[in-house]
Structures are given as structure tokens and as C-alpha cells.
Amino acid sequence: MPAETSNITLYDLVGRDRETFWSSNVWKTRFALHLKDLEFETVPLSFCEIHKEIPLVMRPTVPVLVDRTNPEKPARIQDSWNIAEYLEKTYPDRPSLFHKNETFHQFWDTWVPEKLNGATLHLIALDIWKKLDPESQVYFRKSREERLGRTLESLEEDKPRARAKVKEALTLFHQMISEENYLSGDYVGYSDFIMAALFIWVEHMNPQEFEETYLKAVDDDKIRQWWERMQRWK
């Protein structure tokens, strides 16, 4: 929830459209702030702006959260998991992210990147590139092609295999939510936000891919119903 005057500032990633936020890592923090009902303002940064702005105090990545609630000692936290821990500790009177089971949520914070992020990038890398400003397009193409050892365009031929990996991984998620409203059980928790943040990333980049590969990963409506419940915290 943006606020003109807020003690909390969130640094986020944007493309050409500087009012649309789609980074899965930052959305974990956005969800957490929404659940805690904490007002915050957003500083939008392109990939290249992150490398110019953030290294002044930290390594060049987002999310970065600055909390000036205590003006004598403002907190600066980087990385979505570190921010979640900070929010849970600093605002214990607000709804809980971990429900006294931090290990469970930490498992999902590791599992989703390991099982889903790589395959997802293969599905939407070119879509991401198309939505970036020209300077960031150069950075993104160079950095991702060096990391992957191939061109963004060549990832197209891997899409069937990437879709199969996504659907296989989502079967575990589907099992977890088949008899519960949320991964956390009766109440939404940080593990739900981890998965929902990935969903937002894909939905923004390629709505058709999101519909066919993620929402329809299993032959029932359990994932879609969970996703509809998650809209409350967007």
C-alpha cells in the first residue's frame, strides 16, 4: 500500500512501465507488508538503476527495505527472507508470517527457487526482456545469456521440458493445499506468499503461460481456488 509519508521504504524492480511491480523476490516482501498492514512507499528502480543506487549501501539487488520508525536508528534490510524475519520480530502484534513454525516457511523459501525458478525463467525470459527499458535490456540479455550459456531466443525450444518440470513441482504444492485453505493451514503465511510471488511474476510476463501451465497444472481447481484466495493480499 503506497503512502506519501511513510516510515517504511521499499526498493523494487520495474521495467519500462515504472508503475507495475512484478519481481517475485520483492513481491514476497509486498505480501508480508500487506499482511502486517504496514504502510510503505516504493522506490522503483530499473535493473541498471539498481546497480547504480543500491551499491551505495548494499550489494546490487532488491528487495531492500528501510524502516525509519526509530529515526535514531533506522533499519536497512536486504533479501526477502531477512526482511520477513525483521518484520515478524519488529511487529509481533500484527498478523504472523510464520505462525511459530519458521522452519516450515524456510523450507518453501528454498524449495520454490530450487524446483520452480529455473524452469520458470526458461518459460518467460524473453517476455521479461521485452518489458524492460533499452538500457536494462542490454544488461539482462548479457547477464542471463552468460549465466545460461545460450541466447534467450534458444530457450524457446526448451519450453516443453520446462513446462513438464513446473507441473511436476506443482503437484507437491497441490497436495499441500488440497485439504487446507493455505500452505500454512487455516491461516495464510509466508510460505503462501513465496508461491504467490512466483505466480505474480509469471502472470505479469505471460498471462497465457500462467493460465495453462500454472493454474491448470493439475486437473482440478484447487490451485486456482488458492490463487483466488491470495488476491486479498495483493
Q: What is the CATH number of the domain that holds 228?
A: 1.20.1050.10
Classify residue 154: in a domain, yes or no: yes
One-letter identity of residue 221: D
Report yes or no on whether pTM surpasses 0.85: yes
Q: What is the pLDDT of residue 57?
A: 66
State whether 124 and 179 are in the same domain: yes
CB 21 within 8 A of CB 83: no
DSSP state at residue 94: S
Q: Which domain, by its residues, includes 41?
A: 8-90
One-letter identity of residue 157: E
Cβ partners under 8 Å of residue 13, min gap 6: 21, 22, 23, 26, 44, 45, 46, 47, 50, 62
Strand partners, 13: 45
State whether 48 and 76 are in the same domain: yes
Classify residue 182: in a domain, yes or no: yes
Per run of 10 residues, the mean pLDDT along the chain (length 234 residues) is 72 97 98 98 96 81 95 94 98 97 97 97 98 97 96 96 98 95 96 98 98 97 98 96
Q: Which of 90, 122, 140 is the last residue of a domain?
A: 90
Q: What is the pLDDT of residue 3?
A: 45
State whether 82 and 110 are in the same domain: no
Q: What is the pLDDT of residue 211?
A: 98
30: domain CATH number?
Answer: 3.40.30.10
Q: What is the pLDDT of residue 59?
A: 83
